[in-house]
């Protein structure tokens, strides 16, 4: 469970006031995949970063009784001079999981072949994404954070990636920032819409999708208040 208690966050930039969270209180239940929808610039990624603990709110608090992942598929923490193998071993040690098991899992899933033993600086963006997604899925968390994950590779690999994520959701929850409404329908149990600093929570994801679609048809809000 992840609970937001009176969460507030506002940015001030070039005379503009952007409200990301306006006294938000909400509960993300255990073992539920929740889509977070909203306009570009509404603050969805900022909300996810506050849940992850990498961005501090102005006030309020976030309470959890379980483990939370870093954003799934994030490759920015890999050391470019280390090989894929060495990076995976390092992550395993940091999170206290079996090193050999994680290496075997990621090597098999990522399908990097000989590149797994080459420096990450030599990887294409797609190869980095494969490595990062494999590492994310190779460690069990109570809640996975997902910020616009895009599966890379051919159709078979994309299908394999989504199936793996769906398998993880059988025993874990997720908070997913996404514009992919098809993915919401396939994977999510609930949906939330962030608009003008307010989080509207729906136990039926179809209700959240309808709200989001209505927002996309409407005029954008006053940017002096919400991004």
- Please determine, for residue 224, whether its predicted confidence score (pLDDT) is greater than 70: no
Q: What percent of the chain has pLDDT over 90?
A: 74
What is the predicted pLDDT for the residue at 168? 94
Local structure of 221: helix, strand or coil:
coil
What is the predicted pLDDT for the residue at 129? 87
Q: Which residues, at least 6 apart from 99, have a Cβ–Cβ distance to it below 8 Å?
A: 89, 92, 93
Could you tell me which residue, 191 or 14, shows the higher pLDDT? 191
What is the predicted pLDDT for the residue at 21? 97
Q: Which candidate, 85, 93, 98, places its Cα nearest to that of 134?
A: 85
What is the predicted pLDDT for the residue at 151? 56
The C-alpha atoms of residue 75 and residue 109 are separated, in whole angstroms, by 16
Residue 219: phi and psi, rounded to 5, are: -65, 145
Q: How confident is the model at residue 227 (pLDDT cuts 50, 70, 90)?
A: very low
The DSSP result for 67-120, as a single string, is -EEEETT--TTS-TTSBHHHHHHHHHHHHT--HHHHHHHHHHHH--GGGGGSBG
- Please determine, for residue 184, whether its predicted confidence score (pLDDT) is greater than 60: yes
State mean pLDDT over 148-175: 83
What is the predicted pLDDT for the residue at 220? 62
What is the predicted pLDDT for the residue at 221? 58
- Please determine, for residue 155, whether its predicted confidence score (pLDDT) is greater than 80: no
Local structure of 180: helix, strand or coil:
coil
Q: Please name each of the domains of the chain with its CATH number.
A: 1-67+143-148+173-227 (3.40.50.300)
State mean pLDDT over 90-119: 96
State mean pLDDT over 131-138: 93
């Amino acid at each position: 469970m992840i609970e937001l208690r009176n969460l507030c966050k506002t940015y001030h930039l070039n005379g503009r006031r952007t409200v990301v969270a306006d006294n938000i209180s909400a509960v993300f239940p255990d073992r539920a995949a929740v889509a977070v929808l909203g306009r570009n610039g509404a603050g969805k990624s900022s909300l996810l970063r506050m849940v992850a603990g990498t961005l501090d709110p102005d006030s309020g608090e976030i309470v959890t009784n379980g483990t939370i992942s870093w954003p799934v598929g994030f490759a920015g923490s890999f050391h470019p001079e280390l090989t894929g193998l060495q990076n995976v071993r390092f992550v395993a040690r940091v999170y206290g999981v079996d090193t050999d098991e994680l290496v075997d899992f990621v090597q098999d899933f990522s399908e990097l072949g000989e590149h797994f033993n080459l420096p990450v600086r030599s990887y294409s963006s797609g190869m980095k994404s494969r490595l990062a997604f494999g590492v994310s899925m190779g460690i069990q968390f109570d809640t996975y954070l997902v910020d616009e994950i895009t599966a890379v590779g051919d159709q078979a690999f994309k299908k394999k990636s989504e199936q793996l994520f769906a398998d993880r959701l059988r025993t874990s929850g997720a908070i997913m920032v996404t514009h992919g409404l098809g993915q919401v329908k396939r994977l999510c149990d609930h949906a939330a819409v962030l608009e003008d600093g307010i989080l509207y929570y729906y136990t039926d994801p179809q209700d959240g999708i309808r709200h989001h679609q209505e927002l996309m048809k409407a005029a954008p809000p006053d940017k002096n208040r919400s991004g």
